[in-house]
Amino acid sequence: MLDVRRLRLLCDLDRLGTIAAVALARSYTPSAVSQQLAALEREAGVALLERSGRRVAFTAAGRVLATHAAGVLAALEQTEAALAAARTGPAGPLRIGAFPTAVRTLLPAALVGLGRAYPALELMVTELDPADVPAALRERRLDVGLLNDYDAAPGEVHADLDSVPLLDEPVFLAVPAGTPCADLRAAGDLDWILASAGTLCHEVTLRVCAAQGFTPRVRHRADDFATVLALVGAGQGVSLVPQLAVPAAPATVRLIPLALRRRTRIAYRRGAAAHPAISALIAALT
């Protein structure tokens, strides 16, 4: 019998490429990952990996097993969802990851409604950048997470995750009300407020500005749009903000519409869509 936990490590290796990366993602030592994969080879009765120094490559049998293992893991998610559906209703913990603006604007009403409708449901929210959501879902630190993508930065295709659309919204250039700025190109001479490096918002801003022929001159860094808009209103720079953040804009901020849109999706592990807690959250949000 093949161990499911070891199959998950094999899928991680297929996705991440190195044992060191798998160890980092799972908070294991590289030696522990290697030992588990060696045990999986013994269970399979065939070599799954070819080792050359510190590097490994899949054998033909290893590639076959990795492909089928992804289906096995999805089938297990479906089985867990079916068993959960056999209960009287949504119950137990539901771990939700969302970016700060969604936590402030979208989730409160959904959480209140779900809490009233399903008292046995334990709702737990974590603020998380969309770039970190896929890994948190795979590592089972989250059950559901919100993903973003923009015209300027299309979302990755995650074969082991499923998702449903939630929002499609315009993006604005936020500038201090008294600043003479007509469009994005004119903002090349202004100070900018950017999100932290490594976040999707940071990457999108760099790409959008590059398309206009300039690199933004960063003055401040902030990840919450309410903070960003407060800084813009205080004359501290300009920034890109989505429609969802607009209600937090003070009167001292002027919003310039851009030909840029942001899309938000509700993501979960493949096979988990029928889980009653996940389907209840999707219904509450949409």
Give the tens place of pLDDT for each residue, 16-47.
888 888 888 888 888 888 888 888 888 888 88
Q: Which of 113, 109, 141 is nearest to 126 (CA)?
A: 141
Q: Is the pLDDT of residue 157 over 80?
A: no
The whole-angstrom separation of Cα 280 and Cα 123 is 12
pLDDT tens-digit series, residues 231-285: 999 999 999 999 999 998 899 999 999 999 999 999 999 988 888 999 999 999 9
DSSP per residue, 45-108 = TS--EEEETTEEEE-HHHHHHHHHHHHHHHHHHHHHHHHHHTSSSS-EEEEEEE-HHHHHHTHH
Q: Is the pLDDT of residue 89 over 70?
A: yes
Q: How many CB atoms lie within 10 A of CB 183?
A: 11
Take residue 275 and report the two structure tokens written for it.
Answer: 């889980």
> pLDDT band at residue 58, thresholds of 50, 70 and 90?
confident
Quick one: what percent of the chain has pLDDT higher than 70? 98
Where does 182-252 show beta strands of DSSP type E?
191-194, 217-221, 239-242
- State the pairing for strand pair 217-221/191-194: parallel
Task: Give the pLDDT score at 242.
Answer: 96
pTM: 0.76
The whole-angstrom separation of Cα 64 and Cα 145 is 30
- B/e letters for 134-166, b = 16+ CB within 10 Å, e = fewer, are bebbbeeebbbbbbbbbebbebeebebbbbeeb
Helices assigned H by DSSP within the chain? 4-16, 19-26, 30-44, 60-85, 100-105, 107-117, 133-138, 200-211, 225-233, 276-285
Q: Is the pLDDT of residue 153 over 70?
A: yes
E strand or H helix at 146: strand 144-150
Helix (H, G, I), strand (E, B) or coil at 118: coil
Task: Give the pLDDT score at 25.
Answer: 82
Task: Give the pLDDT score at 72.
Answer: 82
- B/e letters for 185-196, b = 16+ CB within 10 Å, e = fewer, are ebbeebbbbbbe
Do the Cβ atoms of 173 and 152 come closer than 8 Å? no
CA–CA–CA angle 265, 107, 115 (5° rounding):
120
Range 62-87 average pLDDT: 78
Range 52-79 average pLDDT: 82
Do the Cβ atoms of 111 and 122 come closer than 8 Å? no
pLDDT tens-digit series, residues 122-150: 999 999 989 899 999 998 899 999 999 99
